[in-house]
Amino acid sequence: MNGLTQLHFSDLWHVMAPEMILVIGGFLILVLDLFMSKESSRRLSPQLGILFLIAAFVLTIRNFGIVADNAAAGGDMINLSNMLYVLDDFGNVFKLLFTAGTAVVLLMSIDFFKHNLEVKVAEYTYLMLFATVGAMVMASALDLITLFVGLELLSISSYVLVAMRRNHAKSTEGAMKYLVIGSVASAMALYGMSFLYGVTGQTNLAMGASTMLQLWDQFKPVLVLGFLLMLVGFGVKVALVPFHQWAPDTYEGAGNPVTSFLAVVSKAAGFALILRVFLWGFSRVFGDIYIYLVILAALTMVIGNVAALTQKNIKRLLAYSSVAQAGYLLIPLATLGKGSSIDNIWLSLGQTVFYLVAYLFMTMGAFAVLTVVTRQAGNETLEAFRGLWRRSPFLAVSMAVFTLSMAGMPLTAGFVGKFYIFLGTINTEMYWLGGLLFATSAIAFYYYFGVLKAIFLKDSSVETHEKIQVPASIGVTIAIGLIGTIVLGVYPDAMMKLLNGLHWFGQ
């Protein structure tokens, strides 16, 4: 069976090979940039980055099926007392998501570099790799300090990536807002961790959970305060309401590939962190705190979708849509307060990962279409999509599939993902939360219909009547998104069987 293995120095390469290969790749690109010509660096850096990400992806697959020697989640927690970093299927499946997502971002970026000559390609590429390493650390760390190091590595790299377009005022503005709000969030998360350490004397999540159960009644207010502070800090990272205010400006200001990275990879890393910390650290007292997650999930779904109704800028619309998606993704964890059996935990993890994979395909594809259409139109409003079906049937149909999937149309990956999450609310008898999921999805249909109306029901203006040429890298990205969105929507059973067969935490 798959297992959870304690990290010894002699096993460093075996356990952390995916992370190490990306670190090596990042520094190699950094060094090569010093010796290559500018043209060679711009051409080769993203290609090298994609190769290193593919290597990390393959090495992660190799780590599935490791047999535990003397520790397993849910067993004797004392066995986990010295663990800073663990190897389990939970971390592995998220690492596959991170490496695949970043590889698609770099593929999309090849065209982005051609039209943004001020961007330093080598710097952009190795920052992407380092950010991915931070996300991978967040998925596998079992110690609060190690988790925070991974969080900051991802965050700092992301701040710089948002500001890469130096000649764009909105890029600078978005990066500054992200930096200030993100820094405050990191401080609050660290402050919350300090409360947990102050009460339990542990930074190890497994040992801290055992100690917390013994001290819960005595120190409940302090421990709940620590939980809430961490929830605020992590909530900013994944754009939960009311901690989402940075998202619209940052998404609008960043380049499209960076925005897709924030919307998919960074958000997935945030949820990996939330799941790891709350399932391990607070699992034994979850019945007393889950209500806060339920409230945030409900607020995020409602406000994210309602705020998107008035948006005319397509990137801001997708930003608020991303906020709403964070609410959907929080539901599987929130429902565990009503049904925290081990089977429900595995089902919740499967639902979350399935929806994240579906979200990767539809979001990456949508931003790839957005890149071509808005550049040709010269603006990022919904008017850029007027008459798109006449100018490029391929882009029109692709954007329709992606938007309908985000809204939750049947036979798309987005619908299946939401349906599995809805079944989770029914299974735990949280019917009102499931009803709210469907109600907010109906709201999403309204504003996504505005995109479809512009594409199919409005004639293009004179200025944008010419046919749109799709660059090869963008075309491949769109094709990947289409295949994933349709296949997961029509035949989701294969992936769900795979996810349900994982031994998430060594069991």
User: Does some domain include residue 320?
Assistant: yes
Amino acid (1-letter code) at residue 49: G
Q: What are phi and psi of 362, to 5 degrees?
A: -75, -35
Q: Indicate whether 209 pLDDT > 60.
A: yes
> How far are the Cα atoms of 221, 400, 497 from residue 491, in angstroms, in the given order?
47, 20, 11
User: Does some domain include residue 362?
Assistant: yes
Q: What are phi and psi of 204, to 5 degrees?
A: -75, 125
Share of the chain above pLDDT 90, in %: 44
Listed range (96-105, 270-279, 371-380) with the worst mean pLDDT: 371-380
Q: Are the CB atoms for 321 and 406 separated by under 8 Å?
A: yes
Distance CA 404, CA 356 (A): 16
65 band by pLDDT with thresholds 50, 70 and 90? low
Nearest to 162 by CA among 67, 254, 50: 254
Nearest to 403 by CA among 284, 476, 307, 317: 317
Q: Which domain range does residue 420 map to?
A: 289-507
Is the four-CA dihedral 279, 281, 284, 287 of positive or negative sign? negative
Q: Indicate whether 54 pLDDT > 90.
A: yes
Is the four-CA dihedral 458, 459, 462, 464 of positive or negative sign? positive
Distance CA 151, CA 64 (A): 24
Q: Are the CB atoms for 161 and 254 separated by under 8 Å?
A: yes
Share of the chain above pLDDT 70, in %: 91
User: Does some domain include residue 47?
Assistant: no
What mean pLDDT is predicted for residues 43-47?
A: 89
Tokens of 70: 């003397």
Q: What H or E segment, with its residue span, contains residue 6?
A: strand 5-6
What average pLDDT does the chain have? 85
Q: Indicate whether 9 pLDDT > 80.
A: no
The count of structural domains within the chain is 1
Is the four-CA dihedral 124, 130, 133, 137 of positive or negative sign? negative
State pTM to two decimals: 0.89
Q: Are the CB atoms for 426 and 331 separated by under 8 Å?
A: no
Q: Indicate whether 67 pLDDT > 70.
A: no
**Predicted pLDDT at 134:** 94
Q: Indicate whether 71 pLDDT > 50.
A: no
CB atoms inside a 10 Å sphere around CB 17:
17
73 band by pLDDT with thresholds 50, 70 and 90? very low
User: Does some domain include residue 497?
Assistant: yes
User: Does some domain include residue 377?
Assistant: yes
Q: What H or E segment, with its residue span, contains residue 28?
A: helix 12-35
pLDDT digits (tens, 9 = 90+) for 261-299: 999 999 999 999 999 998 888 877 888 888 999 999 999
Q: Indicate whether 419 pLDDT > 80.
A: yes
Q: Indicate whether 473 pLDDT > 50.
A: yes
Most confident range (mean pLDDT) of 68-72, 127-131, 244-248, 344-348 is 127-131
Tokens of 46: 């993203």
Q: Indicate whether 203 pLDDT > 80.
A: yes
User: Does some domain include residue 335?
Assistant: yes
Q: What are phi and psi of 66, to 5 degrees?
A: -70, 135
Q: Which residue has the higher pLDDT, 308 or 3?
A: 308
Is the four-CA dihedral 177, 149, 268, 193 of positive or negative sign? negative
Q: Which residue has the higher pLDDT, 471 or 8?
A: 471
Specify the residue for token string 């710097």.
123
User: Does some domain include residue 65?
Assistant: no
**Predicted pLDDT at 78:** 35
Helix, strand, coil % over all residues of the chain, rounded to 5:
80, 0, 20
Distance CA 311, CA 122 (A): 35
Q: What is the 3-state secondary structure (H, E, C) of 243-272?
A: CCCHHHHHHHHCCHHHHHHHHHHHHHHHHH
**Predicted pLDDT at 112:** 87
477 band by pLDDT with thresholds 50, 70 and 90? very high
Q: Which residue has the higher pLDDT, 344 or 22?
A: 22
User: Does some domain include residue 240?
Assistant: no
**Predicted pLDDT at 16:** 83
Nearest to 355 by CA among 268, 477, 296, 445: 268
What mean pLDDT is predicted for residues 116-123?
A: 85
Q: Are the CB atoms for 401 and 482 separated by under 8 Å?
A: yes
Distance CA 237, CA 121 (A): 25
Q: Which residue has the higher pLDDT, 495 or 213?
A: 495
Nearest to 205 by CA among 152, 155, 154, 146: 146
Q: What is the 3-state secondary structure (H, E, C) of 156-225?
A: HHHHHHHCCCCCCHHHHHHHHHHHHHHHHHHHHHHHHHHHHHHHHCCCEHHHHHHHHHHHHHHHHHHHHH
Specify the residue for token string 């079992």.
142
Three-state DSSP state, 313 = strand
- Supply angle C-alpha 376, 453, 321, rounded to 5: 80
